Amino acid sequence: MKPDIILIHPPTNFNMPKGSISALPSYYIGYGMLHIASTLLANGFNVVVWNLEEALHLDGITSRKFSEIIERIDCGLIGIELNWLHFSKGAIQTAKIIKKVRPDITIIVGGTHATLFASQIIRGYHKVIDAVLKGESEKTFLQIARKFEEKDSLNNMDVGGLVTFKDGRVIEKPLKKEDIFENIDEIPPFTYRVVKRVKDGNESRRLFAGSAINTCRGPCPYECLYCIDRSISIISGRRGYTAHSPEWIVNQINLLLEEGCYEFAFQDNLYLSGKKYLKELSKTLIREKINEKISGFNMISVPGFLDSETLEELSKAGCTNIDYGVESGSEHILKLIRRPTNINKIIDSIKNTIQVGIIPFTWWMTGLPDEGEKEIKETLKLIVKTSYLGAIPKWVTPLILLPHTELFERAEKFGIKLKFKSFKDFMVFSNLIRKRISFYPEAITHETNKMSREDIAKAAIYLKTEIFKRKNEILNNFKRKFLKTILKYHSNFNEAYLMDVLEAILSRQLESFF
């Protein structure tokens, strides 16, 4: 059956040197696009999703071969995902290849990064991109697909979030309340079965044993200076926070279990749902025996938001690790960036988490405003202290400063000098190649009143090096003090395998971008 619509996860860059790997994760298809596909399927459209990054690196689909495939397809509408920075160049290249051989195909680009730079993208690339679709797009892409069937022109479509270019000017249709699902349980769970191999149309290989799933949507109520979360949710059309029902989450997990997924990541703001909701979710997962079927699930949280009782319920329900966005070990910096936590809450969170059998992973940043050598030393001190208490320092990354954050929009007030401002500036992330030491000063988005771009990059390497030097000490401490507790709560864990995973996390510190 010929596809009515093709949705494409692009490569980071078609012109990467042979054998090289992107410095940032590149194979994961965003669940936003997968939910668009499921919504279209539920409404009678035949949809195919292509993982072009996989095709490029694992199937040898060069730009030339991709052109030949595009020439043969019988499809008039293509969506290209532009979810994160490092796909900027690849998304544009993909559109150019398609338009060169099939100018009749309508191309729409969407996703988080596309939403942030919609006007710049359509102004700069309207010859190869017909429209940018901003925000949550399950409903709006469906509207476009229906109007497309009726031979309606994009420029005549009154679809919220649609950004087009006509007669030398950008035309943007404002997002309205009815353009998104107010009740997000009405969004169909996604399936990977819709993902097909580019070269032959067969079902795509499963590259990972796990999957991220969407558990909630809407803006975080807190106003951390550097964080895009609140702004992007509002720009995307959703002004209030909402969570999926526990039953919807169970249905999504069961669907993916049938497809071979056994590990799950709740990489959104579920921790904001509150104690009552999280307790209900935990009970539902246990009642439906999800905790017995899965290897485990991961969450994220700000330290201090989950109490001991809630953590224990989550652990019993299958939560095996939590990513804590600590960011800095400096009380001064945490206050300055309006992080809703403090050193005492951070320490208590690590203690409370590990004692109920959940591994606390910690995330750290460099390049924060007013951060200097003293504050970096304080961060290292807290990394060491939390590691002694059972935390595993998972990521250290330079801050990526994005438009629509307060720190970007009011940079001068906070002593920030912006180096990246435009969509083209951020394209540098598409060129980053993984190397043994993740030193990329060219990708540092700003300078501070105390640190140059090179200083910020060096500070991240310094912290990563100090973690790496302490790798054996951290692992031995974890095994001696905390492993027994982890295994008590999660008897399905293999001790040797778990320690190997933790060692791998610490070992790749120096080469990981974040």
Residues 227 and 131 in one domain: no
Computed on alpha carbons and rounded to an integer, the radius of gyration of the chain in Å comes to 23
pLDDT value at 207 more than 80: no
Closest CA to 143 of 128, 157, 130: 157
* pLDDT band, residue 513 (cuts 50/70/90): confident
Strand-strand pairing, 417-418 and 392-398: unpaired
Within a domain: 337:
yes
Residues 67 and 188 in one domain: yes
pLDDT of residue 157: 92
Within a domain: 81:
yes
pLDDT of residue 471: 98
Residues 332 and 412 in one domain: yes
What's the average model confidence in pLDDT over 439-467?
Answer: 98
User: What is the per-residue burial (b if ≥16 Cβ within 10 Å, else e) of 86-124?
Assistant: bbbbbbbbbbbbbbeebeebbbbbbbbbbbbbbebbbbb
Within a domain: 78:
yes
Residues 94 and 175 in one domain: yes
Within a domain: 201:
no
pLDDT of residue 251: 98
- What is the Cβ-side half-sphere exposure of residue 361, based on CA atoms within 13 angstroms? 18
Closest CA to 499 of 465, 481, 466, 476: 476
Residues 312 and 427 in one domain: yes
To the nearest whole percent, how much of the chain has pLDDT over 70?
99
pLDDT of residue 338: 98
pLDDT of residue 64: 95
Of 193, 224, 245, which residue constitutes the final position of a domain?
193
* pLDDT band, residue 1 (cuts 50/70/90): low
3-state secondary structure of 15: coil
Of 163, 193, 223, which residue constitutes the final position of a domain?
193
- What is the Cβ-side half-sphere exposure of residue 292, based on CA atoms within 13 angstroms? 6
pLDDT in tens, 316-332: 999 999 999 999 999 99
pLDDT value at 466 more than 70: yes
Decide: 29 and 51 in contact? Cβ < 8 Å.
Answer: yes
pLDDT of residue 399: 98
pLDDT of residue 268: 94
pLDDT value at 140 more than 70: yes
* pLDDT band, residue 2 (cuts 50/70/90): confident
pLDDT of residue 151: 83
pLDDT in tens, 268-294: 999 999 999 999 999 999 999 999 999
> How far apart are the two ends of the chain, measured CA to CA in Å?
41
- Is residue 44 left, alpha or beta, with left meaning phi > 0 and alpha meaning psi from -120 to 50? left
Higher pLDDT, 426 or 206: 426
Distance CA(423)–CA(82), nearest Å, equals 12
pLDDT in tens, 141-175: 999 999 998 888 888 899 999 999 999 999 999 99
Closest CA to 30 of 78, 69, 87, 93: 87
Residues 27 and 170 in one domain: yes
* pLDDT band, residue 209 (cuts 50/70/90): confident
Enter the pTM of the model: 0.96
The domain that holds 20 is classified in CATH as 3.40.50.280
pLDDT in tens, 79-88: 999 999 999 9
Phi and psi at residue 257, to the nearest 5°: -60, -40
pLDDT in tens, 215-233: 999 999 999 999 999 999 9
Q: How many domains does the chain have?
A: 2
To the nearest whole percent, how much of the chain has pLDDT over 90?
91
* Number of residues assigned to the chain: 514
pLDDT value at 206 more than 80: no
pLDDT value at 514 more than 70: no
Could you list the residue range(s) of the whole structural domain that residue 484 is in?
210-507
Decide: 107 and 78 in contact? Cβ < 8 Å.
Answer: yes
- What is the Cβ-side half-sphere exposure of residue 240, based on CA atoms within 13 angstroms? 7
Within a domain: 389:
yes
Residues 251 and 180 in one domain: no
The domain that holds 472 is classified in CATH as 3.30.750.200
- Alpha carbon 344 to its chain's center: 28
Within a domain: 179:
yes
Residues 421 and 476 in one domain: yes
pLDDT of residue 58: 86
What's the average model confidence in pLDDT over 423-451?
Answer: 96
Within a domain: 347:
yes
pLDDT of residue 203: 84
Per DSSP, the residues of 350-387 read: HHHHHTTT-EEEEEEEE--TT--HHHHHHHHHHHHHHH
- What is the Cβ-side half-sphere exposure of residue 321, based on CA atoms within 13 angstroms? 22
Within a domain: 135:
yes
Residues 145 and 260 in one domain: no
Distance CA(403)–CA(407), nearest Å, equals 9
Residues 284 and 410 in one domain: yes
pLDDT in tens, 15-69: 988 888 899 888 899 999 999 999 999 999 999 999 999 999 888 899 999 999 9
Of 130, 163, 193, which residue constitutes the final position of a domain?
193
pLDDT in tens, 73-119: 999 999 999 999 999 999 999 999 999 999 999 999 999 999 999 99
- What is the Cβ-side half-sphere exposure of residue 233, based on CA atoms within 13 angstroms? 18
Closest CA to 382 of 366, 368, 371, 393: 393
Decide: 213 and 252 in contact? Cβ < 8 Å.
Answer: yes
Distance CA(402)–CA(228), nearest Å, equals 7
Residues 383 and 244 in one domain: yes
pLDDT of residue 103: 97
| 147-150: long-range contacts, CB 8 A cutoff, minimum separation 24 | 148/76, 148/77, 148/106, 149/4
What's the average model confidence in pLDDT over 488-497?
Answer: 94
Residues 170 and 216 in one domain: no
